[in-house]
Chain A
Amino acid sequence: DGGITQSPKYLFRKEGQNVTLSCEQNLNHDAMYWYRQDPGQGLRLIYYSQIVNDFQKGDIAEGYSVSREKKESFPLTVTSAQKNPTAFYLCASSIGQKPNEQYFGPGTRLTVT
């Protein structure tokens, strides 16, 4: 059964701690994306990766880091430098030449107190 998985569904952290959000896909997609969504807001691109070992910053990359060591995996680390990390984080993937056809994971809701 193909798809994108994100874990965990809910994550709680203390301020000042780094936290890594998992994203795995078995769709054989080259491109993967991370978005942030705040209550009542749209999707804002954090990072994008077109192929393994390559990634580009999105609109709001400050305070975040990513890695892409495997095609299937694109973890996002929320660092202590991110001033307002509490949000809903969405991972997506697509065929490399079709960024308009993105498949989304179920999301991770991160709460930092």
Chain B
Amino acid sequence: LAKTTQPISMDSYEGQEVNITCSHNNIATNDYITWYQQFPSQGPRFIIQGYKTKVTNEVASLFIPADRKSSTLSLPRVSLSDTAVYYCLVARAPAGANNLFFGTGTRLTVIP
């Protein structure tokens, strides 16, 4: 089973780059990795997804090493509004109770 593990919390100063890592040692060949952002009392919001190597969009980058046993979400120059909980998800199709694994989340606090 592709259990996912994340650090519980991280602090960062405004303007710094933040890297959050998720471990998924038992990831399967067809699994994809996705990261979500969640603010209090709201539903998670999709940030970025990837399968291997590096993916970049307008808000973040995702680094996945060749063995795919971990992934790192990189947030460039964080601001106070990036304070949230970040979850990694390892999932594959067809979806099912045994093919979908959310991490426990990393609470990022951005300090002025």
Contact = CB atoms under 8 A, between A and B. Distances in A.
Contact of B49 (A88, A101, A106): A101
Given A42-B102, A42-B105, A43-B87, A99 B92 contact: yes
B41 A107 contact: yes
B43 A96 contact: no
A14 to B, nearest CB: 23
Given A99-B100, A100-B32, A101-B34, A50 B46 contact: no
Nearest to B50: A100
Nearest to A60: B97
A25 interface: no
Contacts, number: 75
A107 B43 contact: yes
Contacts of B32: 100
Interface stretch (A51-59, A67-75, A77-85): A51-59
A35 B36 CA distance: 14
B97 A100 contact: no
B96 interface: yes
20 contacts: A4-B43, A48-B95, A48-B100, A50-B95, A56-B96, A88-B41, A90-B43, A90-B44, A92-B43, A98-B93, A99-B93, A99-B94, A99-B100, A100-B34, A101-B49, A102-B34, A102-B44, A102-B89, A107-B41, A109-B41
Contacts of B46: 101-103
Contacts of A64: none
Across the A-B interface, give the 6 residue pairs with the lowest CB-CB distance, nearest first. Answer: A104-B43, A99-B95, A42-B104, A100-B32, A100-B91, A97-B93
A12 to B, nearest CB: 16
B90 to A, nearest CB: 8
A76 interface: no
Contact of B94 (A44, A50, A92, A102): A50
